[in-house]
Structure 1
Amino acid sequence: MTLEEYKKLAPTERLSIFMESLSMTNRTPEYYVNWTKVARETRKYEVELNTLNYLIGKQNIFDEAFALFSKQPDLLCAIPSLIACRDTKLDILSVDEQDNMSFYSLNFARIDKSKILEYTNFVQQTGLLNFLKEKANRSLVDYVYGVEAGLDSNARKNRSGTTMENIVERNVEKVCREYGLEYMAQASASYIKNRWDITVPVDKSERRFDVAIYNPNTNRLWLIETNYYGGGGSKLKAVAGEFTELNAFVRDTPDSVEFVWVTDGQGWHTAHRPLAEAFGHIDYVFNLEMLRTEYFRDLFLC
């Protein structure tokens, strides 16, 4: 089916084609762990971690730790990494045996040398000292490498969106290179005005479009937003509504501007109704399977 044939279909027919060709996943092998980031985060405290190896297996470990931290307070900067925490300033609740509560803070980025005992007590109460005494049997650098790999899993949701952006940009780049078109990733309305003298009304002043494509032969502009939803949730309804409104915004200009939404994922099966409403307003809604067709090429050349 050509793009022209697809455009002539009723919104319900286009939606049906879209839903039937949703991808199972967009998770490439690189999705699971960003090893470059893991290595970078581990290297931050490599010297401190190697020094803290001294505590491994020590019997009187609290006194040993207190003495070590007193001599080298900056070693405490590595503690958040050892307890799988990204924060460096920690607000802590303390509950005593009578269930009395109190609160205190410890800054692991700027060590307060007058609080070495409090830092050491905290490290003990987290269970880290007992781990170093009883369980640790190898380099703490290797241990933190594993911790960082686990923490990196929290970034997978963002990587899913980045994967979509990369896939779309690669497709756009091929078409632009072949047909002499221009494009820009993360393009703002002001950038588009300065570079191509096209006015793009936007719903948010800070709005940046994932990709903007310009055809100098026809003076037409296409603005692409992309995302991926492997699971359901209320956000899908909100996103469908947001992009329906955004489509109306960007087309409210005397210049030739079109909005393109590239989205995918099995999550859309849980938000059929809001997506159907979006199809009724947005002419160009594509998924990954559709990128394999000639839709992109035909769209930007028309």
Structure 2
Amino acid sequence: MKDMNIDAKAAAFRELHKPGEPFVIPNPWDAGSARIMEGLGFKALATTSSGFAMTLGRKDYGVTKDEALTHGAEIADAVELPVNADLENGFGLKPEDAADTIARACETGLAGGSIEDSTGDKQSPVIEDDALAIARLEAAAGAGKNSGRDFVLTARAEAFLYGVGELDKVIARLNAFADAGADVLYAPGLPDMDAVRAVCAGVSKPVNILILGKLAEHAVAEFADAGAARLSIGGGLAWNAYGTLGAATEMLNEGRFDMLSANRDGAKKIASFLKA
């Protein structure tokens, strides 16, 4: 871990969450990208489950709890910034699964982490049972409080991300998560700014917004007006970075190498932001 102790990092992370004054939290996928984002001047970072899975040659949700926690710790130790971890659904659907995941995250240099209400089942992707969803979040919050250190817990309601979202129900679940101990609320996949405004106005805790789909057409100032506190991009940067591997198809299919120069020049420029 770098200069700041973990409680100071967590306190700094908590303080960043001000509704109507959103900060952008990018999602590095390894220590190198984390250090570059730190050098660029961001105030906090977050891991990405899909971006990390790609580094292992796997699809999203294809990593284990041990791998995700080790990865989060490596990112946190690489920078001086607060780091939030994407901890998926706590790697199990029982309350004790969520509690164990947060308890173990609290043993690392992570400033916070998220628990989502997804099931990992394509046929029924979101936990339908309100009592179970709330019990899981309550167990996660309890584990954080019992850790003896500060830890910023984000609760995610995933319905919109899977195309089954109903705004009133999602807002109700987010408020239940807040009552259960969540510090930050998150409903990824919101379809438009009207939904963003409704969520931000309808809940009692700071809201993280995932910049995805049509929301990418809006600027930070618009999310501020809507009441957002945090803006994240998930695996967006990781997927863009891996997209440059398209140059390999030109080598294979066309026998051309000109894309290498453009990508190398861009890499050199961004590497200049690495801290010594």
TM-score (norm 2): 0.32
Of Structure 1 and Structure 2, the greater helix share is in 1
The structure whose residues are more often strand, as a share, is 1
TM-score by length of 1: 0.30
